Amino acid sequence: MSATIPFKRLILRAVLRDVSPMVARLISVSDDTELSDLRDVFQQVLGWSGDLGYSFRIHAKEFNSFRGRTRSKPLREFRLHHQEKFLYICDLLDVWELRVMDIQEVAATDDREPLCLGGRGAAPPESCGGPRGYRLMLKRQQQGVAVSDPALVEATIQLLSATHPEQPASTWSLLRDAVREGWQNVDRRLLEHGPLEPNRFSLQEANERLAALCRYGRIQL
């Protein structure tokens, strides 16, 4: 993209919904950034690399990775205003709420490269099962096997069985299996991605990844 074309900088604050501790990022991008490139910027800021699809919901309309025409729309076409919100849904499960914190007038010759200006909290591991899966991983790491105490699980199932006597015994057997397999999946993810550091954030690392993204020409500037 020609560096002589006038542009503005959008300062966007992104917060991951349904996760604690808070995960937030503050990024600066030019308003001629296309949605597909904004997705790449976001992935690098988070340190993610997967590609299970994404979508943006702007002005009550959806623009996703499966529609070539919509994913190439630049941000300036949406005429976003100060404090306006829109959503970024990544890998079908992770919902990020983006807010326009500022719109800056800049010279046409100014640097167009995206920047991360700040952040809070570590990005959840990819393919961890979304916010719910991440919460379970954190809980398992903090409380260990106590969180899935077999005696407690069995007591809960017995209580459910007593309050729903019409259900066959096979229902509770399936529930026991589901609970056991669920925690096994959590343990597997922890072994693969742990130990988790939910409060860790490195601004330097985020911007190094963004610089590499631009250096290798994966986004148009």
Q: What is the pLDDT along the chain (221 residues), one digit of tens a residue?
A: 455 677 899 999 999 999 888 999 999 999 999 998 999 998 899 988 866 678 899 999 988 877 656 667 899 999 999 999 999 998 778 899 999 999 998 876 678 899 999 999 999 988 788 888 899 999 999 998 888 888 888 888 899 989 998 989 899 889 988 888 888 888 998 988 879 999 999 999 999 999 998 876 655 54
Distance separating the N- and C-terminal Cα atoms of the chain: 5
Architecture of domain 8-122+197-215: Roll (3.10)
Residues 99, 84: contact at Cβ < 8 Å? yes
> Which CA distances in Å does 61 have to 11, 16, 55, 84, 148?
22, 20, 10, 14, 41
Q: Rounded CA gap, 97 and 59, in Å?
A: 13
Q: How many CA atoms does the CB half-sphere of 171 hold within 13 Å?
A: 10
Give one DSSP letter per residue of the chain, joined into a string: --TTS--EEEEEEEEETT-SS--EEEEEEETT-BHHHHHHHHHHHHT----S-EEEEETTEEEETT-HHHHT-BGGGG---TT-EEEEEETTTEEEEEEEEEEEE--TTS----EEEEEESPPPPTTS-HHHHHHHHHHHHHHGGGGG-HHHHHHHHHHHHHH-TTS-HHHHHHHHHHHHHHHHHHHHHHHHH-S--TT---HHHHHHHHHHHHHTTSS--
- Domain spans of the chain, in order of start: 8-122+197-215, 130-193
| Model pTM score | 0.81
> φ, ψ for residue 4 (rounded to 5)?
-90, -5
Count the neighbouring beta carbons within 10 Å of the beta carbon of residue 217: 8
